[in-house]
Amino acid sequence: MSTARWRAPGAPAWLRTSLGSTVARRLFLDRAVDFWLGEVDPAWSLTERRARVVSVTRETRDATTFTLDPGARWPGNRAGQYATVDVEVDGARVRRCYSLASGPGERTVAITVKRVAGGRASNFMHDHLRPGAVVGLGDPRGDFVLPAALPARILLLSGGSGITPVMSMLRDLAARDALRDVAFVHCARTRDDVIFRAELEALAARHEGLTLTLSHDDEGGPLDAARLTALVPDAFEHDTFLCGPEGMMATFEAAWTRAGASRRLRRERFGAPRAVPAGVAPTTVTLRLSRSDRSHVTDAPGTLLEQLERAGERPAFGCRMGICNTCRCTRRAGAVVDTVTGVVSREPDEEIRLCTSVALTDVDLAL
Ligand SMILES: Cc1cc2nc3c(=O)[nH]c(=O)nc-3n(C[C@H](O)[C@H](O)[C@H](O)COP(=O)(O)OP(=O)(O)OC[C@H]3O[C@@H](n4cnc5c(N)ncnc54)[C@H](O)[C@@H]3O)c2cc1C
């Protein structure tokens, strides 16, 4: 977490001025100021952005929208971007990434969270986050966004909770009165599992330029490329924005590649596809955790994060795909390959990401 930047979204006006900030800094260390601000109001902080939950809306049996007030210092986001959200679960801070489902330019931002079986953050949020609660909120990030010059034909293609970033794009296009040639195709297990269904149907009824297709797995199986091109005959000629579960992503990535249309396909993933090079990683490695003085011998393949979790460790992580850096740590010795970049790290004391690194030798980590 950054410690030097002044961010007190909900703090009194005098504290947000540069004189107020300087005086506060002269009197206290940032963290001490933070402590006392937090005692007065949990949403006030010098060292991080905190957002207050203003409403909680149940969307489906396992998806809930949390509308957050990010305060005056929110830099604004583009439709399709995500942010990290920090919650405290059993006394430990847990950070996860969530796409901002709201349209850009609103005073509040909304995230829609699907409950994941056994998941720490999603279950905590569903069970405990109520209006008035305060969460940590990172800056908006990501390049899964509508281009500044809008494409002539747009296909928004999503599955399950992957609807969130494309819903933000749809809301943005509607607010800009730019729903001219937009196909929105969303897949869900059943009709009742369609997140934002009423709003989607209302938008489609209001805008001639929006064609809405809702595909339910229980009425004909998961959508495949043949059925998609029957629904949207010139699908490959649309600038397409895809976000959904891994199987769906793989199906449509392959279809766009076969059609020679990959450059028209933009994707957002909520998890990383594994690309551990076959035969590269040894079958048995020892992971030494030098700070806690523990060692684990592991013979099941996977990233360092997965191997540590299987060994009973609980290292901090956020995105599990190498974008949020929550699981970054120092590799003191040994060699690892980063499965996203392909870079091999073997010099002593290099920073690595546990969620994307695979051990090539025994490894010593500063954990
Ligand atoms: C860019 C981006 C945008 C995203 N946007 C959204 C969004 O809009 N909506 C949304 O719902 N999600 C979104 N996600 C996914 C989200 O970040 C979380 O991954 C998701 O909410 C699950 O988090 P969790 O803490 O509940 O589950 P985790 O605690 O991370 O658990 C995930 C799974 O791993 C298993 N697991 C956990 N710990 C262990 C362990 N020690 N050993 C073995 N298995 C374990 C759990 O049982 C569970 O099945 C997004 C992700 C990214 C990267």
Question: What ligand 1 atom has the least distance to the C-alpha of 94?
Answer: 25
pLDDT at 10 over 90: no
Q: Say yes or no to pLDDT of 222 above 80.
A: yes
Instruction: List ligand 1's pocket residues with C-beta within 6 A.
Output: 82, 96-99, 111-114, 116-123, 161, 164, 270, 309, 319, 321
Ligand 1 site-directed mutation target among 66, 85, 97, 145, most atoms within 8 Å of CB: 97
pLDDT at residue 360 is higher than 60: yes
For the 154-268 domain, the top CATH level (class) is alpha beta
pLDDT at 16 over 70: no
The token pair that represents 125 in the structure block: 């949020």
pLDDT, one tens digit per residue, over 174-216 is 999 999 999 999 999 999 999 999 999 999 999 999 999 999 9
Mean pLDDT, all residues of the chain: 89
The answer to whether the pTM exceeds 0.85 is: no
Looking at the predicted structure, is the pLDDT value of residue 265 above 80? yes
Q: Whose CA is nearest to atom 18 of ligand 1?
A: 96
The CATH code belonging to domain 285-365 is 3.10.20.30
Q: For the chain, what are the domain ranges?
A: 13-137, 154-268, 285-365
CA 69 to chain centre: 18
Q: What is the pLDDT of residues 285-322, one digit of tens each?
A: 999 999 999 999 998 888 999 999 999 999 999 888 88
Give residue-wise pLDDT tens across range 50-96: 999 999 999 999 999 999 999 988 999 999 999 999 999 998 889 99
pLDDT of residue 301: 84
Domain 13-137, CATH: 2.40.30.10
User: What is the per-residue pLDDT for 30?
Assistant: 58
Q: Which residues pair with 351 in a beta bridge?
A: 330
Question: Per the structure block, which two tokens stand in for 354?
Answer: 């546990």
